[in-house]
């Protein structure tokens, strides 16, 4: 199951308030500006800053390549 499109349209990073990329097949929301990954557990986004994972450059590059290859759009236009 994936996140509701209406929910996605309002989801923003709790730290910089910017848009996120939803990578459904990996159950995560990603903020490329801060290199923060937010997990989605049981179809619930865990948007607590303390629960976010800061990713390394290699993982950032992989996620951004996936975003480009899959044509993923941000949760909203900044």
Residue 77 inside a domain? The answer is no
The pLDDT of residue 8 is 92
Asked whether residue 75 is domain-assigned, the answer is no
The domain of 28 spans 5-70
Report the pLDDT value the prediction gives residue 78, as an integer from 0 to 100: 77
Q: Are 48 and 14 in contact (CB under 8 A)?
A: yes
Looking from the CA of 64 toward its CB, the CA atoms found within 13 Å total: 13
The residue ranges of the chain whose pLDDT is under 70 are: 1
For tokens 């801060």, the residue is 34
Q: Classify residue 50: in a domain, yes or no.
A: yes
Residue 65 has which token pair? 């390549």
Residue among 5, 2, 1, 13 nearest 78 (CA):
13
Residue 76 lies in a domain: no
Q: Does residue 38 fall inside a structural domain?
A: yes
Structurally, the chain folds into a number of domains equal to 1
CATH number, domain of 42, equals 2.20.25.10
């Amino acid at each position: 199951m994936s996140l509701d499109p209406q929910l996605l349209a309002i989801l923003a990073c709790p730290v910089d308030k910017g848009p996120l990329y939803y990578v459904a097949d990996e159950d995560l929301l990603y903020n490329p500006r801060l290199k923060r990954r937010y997990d989605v557990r049981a179809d619930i986004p865990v948007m607590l800053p303390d629960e976010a994972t800061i990713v390394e450059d290699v993982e950032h590059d992989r996620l951004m390549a996936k975003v480009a290859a899959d044509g993923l759009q941000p949760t909203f236009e900044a």
